[in-house]
Amino acid sequence: MKPTFLPFLLLPLLLSACGDKSAEVPKPAPVAPAISAVSYESLRSYPQREAPASVLGKNETRLAAEVSARILTLPVDAGDRVRKGQIVARLDARDAELALARADAALAQAHARAAQVLAQTQRARSLREKNFLSAEALTLRETELVLAEADTRAAQAARATAARGVEKSTLRAPFDAIVRARSGQVGEITAPGAPLLTLADTSDLQLVAQVQARDAESLAQAAAPEFVAGGIRHALKPLQISGAISREARTIEARFSFASAPLPPGSEGRLVWRDAQAHILPDMMVRRSGRYGVFVVEADKVRFVAIDGAQEGRPAALDLPPDTRVAQQGRQALQDGMSVVVQSR
């Protein structure tokens, strides 16, 4: 009689063998994520920069009196245009004119005295040649002549000083200008150095802008800076970008001339220019290991390109070949070196 319990003994062995085969089945390979990519040429931008600016003359002068006198006339007012040499103020010159009259009289007296001494000296020389006059007497006459000539020169200088005092009573524009401010009033007695008028030079108008220090290099490379005032753009030509940084505002001064007719001095607006360096917009950047950058596609993998100085929410300068493929959709889930499938768009 055959034993009937053999199948029951073989059953655990069969189940054990089946379990081992299932453990040896390989795991499926991870699926490469699908992303989209676009050329850097279609993404790059050239951000607009700007800075406050105003139109100034090369010279802005506070015209002041050089003498103490009463103001007789101020024929110009704020906003008026004046030409070089035009009279802009007259002071009471009566005291100066009296001083000039005294200087004229003193000079005439000095001339007469010098002429008399010269005649006496010439006669003394003639007498000396005939031995009718001693050498000591001739020396005395020649000394008197030297003193008389010196007195004449002093009188001439005094007369020139008095004439200059009269000239100081009339103030003239030192250049073509616009009157920016009028400080003096007719009837006032002005003191030396007290400003009467402020004149802005119109012969060489420039645009002066205060630019953030970090934008200085960008401005230096800009191709076509413009001045925007009242909604109108004005082309500029660069003159100078200062190398000194203002300690208080951390700005530098940039000066430009106008390519066409300049605006009046005092005009205010904004200096605008396009950054010459290509930038990537902030919404295309991702952050990895504490640094911002982009993923570029190389064959079937992505590589993380960190951007030096990139900040959250601000465009960042990025120098890549225009045909570089930059990951767009799906970039947030990427890691450096990851295999990807680029979907066609």
Per residue in 63-86, pLDDT (tens digit) is: 999 999 999 999 999 989 999 999
Query: Residue 157 sits in which domain range?
Result: 94-165
Give the whole-angstrom CA distance, residue 177 versus residue 173. 8
How does residue 344 score in pLDDT terms, banded at 50, 70 and 90?
A: low
Mean pLDDT, the chain, whole residue set: 88
Q: Which residues pair with 90 in a beta bridge?
A: 73, 170
Q: Calculate mean pLDDT across residues 219-234.
A: 92
Nearest to 170 by CA among 92, 97, 99, 60: 92
Alpha helices, DSSP H only, in the chain?
6-23, 40-43, 94-129, 135-167, 216-221
Q: Calculate mean pLDDT across residues 288-297.
A: 95
* 144 domain-assigned: yes
* 25 domain-assigned: no
248, 116: one domain: no
Number of domains into which the chain is organized: 4
pLDDT digits (tens, 9 = 90+) for 103-160: 999 999 999 999 999 998 999 888 888 888 888 888 998 899 999 999 999 999 999 9
* 317 domain-assigned: yes
Give the whole-angstrom CA distance, residue 180 versus residue 78. 5
* 73 domain-assigned: yes
127, 246: one domain: no
- Contacts of residue 309, defined as CB under 8 A and 6 or more positions apart, other chains included, come to 316, 317
pLDDT digits (tens, 9 = 90+) for 155-206: 999 999 999 999 999 999 999 998 989 999 999 999 999 999 999 888 888 9
Sign of CA dihedral 133, 135, 136, 139: positive
Please say which residue of 214, 240, 274 terminates a domain: 274
- The CATH number given to whatever domain includes residue 330 is 2.40.420
Please say which residue of 200, 223, 254 terminates a domain: 200
**pLDDT number for residue 2:** 47
* 24 domain-assigned: no
